[in-house]
Amino acid sequence: MITLKINNKQIEVEEGTSVMKAAQQMGVEIPNMCTHNELEHFTSCMVCMVKDQSNGKLFPSCSVEATNGLEVVTDDDEIKESRQTALELLLSEHVGDCEAPCQIGCPAHMDIPKMNRLIAAGKFDEALKVVKKDIALPAVLGRICSAPCENACHRKTVDEPISICLLKRIVGDDGNTVDLNSPNPTGKKVVVIGAGPAGLAAAYYLQIKGVQVTLVDKNKKAGGLLRTAIDDEILPKNVLDKEIDLIVKTGVEFRGGEEINTELFELFKNKFDAIIIATGAISENPEIFGLKAGPKGIIADRNTYETSEEKIFAIGNVLRSSRMAVRSVGQGKEVAFSVMQFFNKQGIKGDPRIFNSRFGRLVADEFAEYIKESVEGQRVLPENGGYSGFSKEEAIAEAKRCLHCDCRAIDECKLREYSDQYNVNQRRFKTSQRRNITKQINHGSVIYEPQKCIRCGICVRLTEKYGEEFGFTYIGRGFDVEIGIPFDEELEKGLTKIAVKVAEGCPTGAISLKKNRE
């Protein structure tokens, strides 16, 4: 047996154990990308660096064996920096979008490609569930949103963007799902002041998280500017009423006709565990709330919406006037995260956003690759004009135009996970010329996107081990080496037996399962 120290704790391991495995035995996880539990170490990614305490030298923990008396540190500033640099180098050649640009462009951060896939498959109810994770008022926004997502759509650069807004609208119109999956009651009570788009969304997301929400508004009916400032032809009242009704049905107590004043606000402070101010642009009299305010409105943290007073949050136009209702609806969702973090005493950080690799504009050659998973053709237009919205058939046809720009490995990719953890800068080692994206999709269960490959060799070694006739191999030399199927064969020839194992072993989304994110 070998005795060594890891982070000042002694451990005994069998001879031949790598430092990484020894650390794992102690419950210390070291980031790694080119390891696989069925394969010998390969030492290519260099994200697993640790430090020899005796001489301060860094070494890759996956390939160095534990020796008697070795003392290892697995985490300090220098180690962090070296891992960060290793990841930035891997990203310097990496071309891919983690989340689709439309999702990043949406102020409510809606999972648009997933919605599109479900619509294309005719699954409107499931699509509604996806939409309502981020947007509490889809039928309303489907009529009035200025659609910054469509502006960001990759298809726009070479063709016409997907009609995301109209797709969301039909999903909202068609669905009747009320989230009554009775979450565990938290015993917490929150009052939301103002029942416009921001307040309605905040009420909805807190209520479905098990908080008892009281929603008050000076007007008898909820809706705020949605009710008073938008033409009935654009947003019919019955559409607004239906979506408000769905929110109230989750258990929100709505009290209309309740004008807020200093006395009532003080009462709320005593009675409720948290207060959300969503009164719209009534910063005419912010002194009611006694909070710090600037010329544009109440001052709150941009990410968490905390105001100058504990347990009081502010969202929507009361912070800064905006004509984009989707921004307010998005803030309603985000503030719910902050309030829950406040209740759980986790430290208030707001809605978690994680690292996103982005490559920028899609070029014409790449469009030819992306279209392989989509259909040709211009936008589908509603037969009876824009106000009428899509029929289901039209919606299905339009959703099929989506290019599926999101990475299928988004939830498993180690490159994304570690890039987030080590706060990497994707641009640090970027060269000016980026490689064009190619997609190999002609396999039953997996897709290969070479520009997401980090050349870890796991696929090469796995296909060798399991006796694939062609398998994967290294093609080219030096810096230009790429991974591919020998003799330019099709992906199907390379992966006849162990496609799923290889996709699961690939540390990035270079080889991914087709069924992921469906």
**HSE value, Cβ hemisphere, 13 Å, CA-based, for 1:** 7
Min dist CB 80 to ligand SF4, Å, is 19
101: partner contacted, choices ligand SF4, ligand FES, none (Cβ within 5-8 A by kind): ligand SF4
Find the angle CA(484)-CA(85)-CA(417) to the nearest 5 degrees: 70
Task: Work out whether 439 is an interface residue with ligand SF4 (CB under 6 A).
Answer: no
Residues 332-371 binding ligand SF4 (CB under 6 A) are 357
Q: Binding residue for ligand SF4 (CB under 6 A) from 4, 100, 247, 396?
A: 100
Residues 60-79 binding ligand SF4 (CB under 6 A) are none
Q: Where are the alpha helices (DSSP H) in 47-196?
A: 77-92, 101-105, 112-120, 124-132, 138-144, 148-152, 164-174
**HSE value, Cβ hemisphere, 13 Å, CA-based, for 94:** 30
- When the beta carbons of 370 and 472 are compared against ligand FES, the nearer one is 472
Min dist CB 467 to ligand FES, Å, is 25
Task: Work out whether 127 is an interface residue with ligand SF4 (CB under 6 A).
Answer: no
Residue 229: CB partners within 8 Å, gap ≥ 6?
Answer: none
Q: Binding residue for ligand SF4 (CB under 6 A) from 153, 208, 213, 260?
A: 153
Segment lying near ligand FES (by CB under 6 A), choices 31-39, 164-172, 217-225, 346-354: 31-39
Query: Using an 8 Å Cβ cutoff, are 457 and 482 in contact?
Result: no
Backbone angles phi, psi at 147, to 5 degrees: 55, 60
32: partner contacted, choices ligand FES, ligand SF4, none (Cβ within 5-8 A by kind): ligand FES
455: partner contacted, choices ligand FES, ligand SF4, none (Cβ within 5-8 A by kind): ligand SF4
Q: Binding residue for ligand SF4 (CB under 6 A) from 32, 348, 455, 513?
A: 455
DSSP H/E element including 344: none
Task: Work out whether 396 is an interface residue with ligand SF4 (CB under 6 A).
Answer: no
Task: Work out whether 60 is an interface residue with ligand FES (CB under 6 A).
Answer: yes
Buried b (16+ CB within 10 A) or exposed e, 55-68: eeebebbbbbebee
- When the beta carbons of 49 and 235 are compared against ligand FES, the nearer one is 49
Task: Work out whether 195 is an interface residue with ligand SF4 (CB under 6 A).
Answer: no
**Coil vs helix vs strand at 448:** strand
What's the full length of the chain, in residues?
518
Query: Using an 8 Å Cβ cutoff, are 259 and 218 in contact?
Result: yes
Distance of alpha carbon 119 from alpha carbon 404, whole angstroms: 13
Residues contributing to the site for ligand FES (CB under 6 A) = 32-35, 43-48, 60, 62
Residues contributing to the site for ligand SF4 (CB under 6 A) = 94, 96-98, 100-102, 112-113, 116, 153-155, 162, 164, 357, 402-405, 407, 409-410, 413, 415-416, 452-459, 483, 506-511
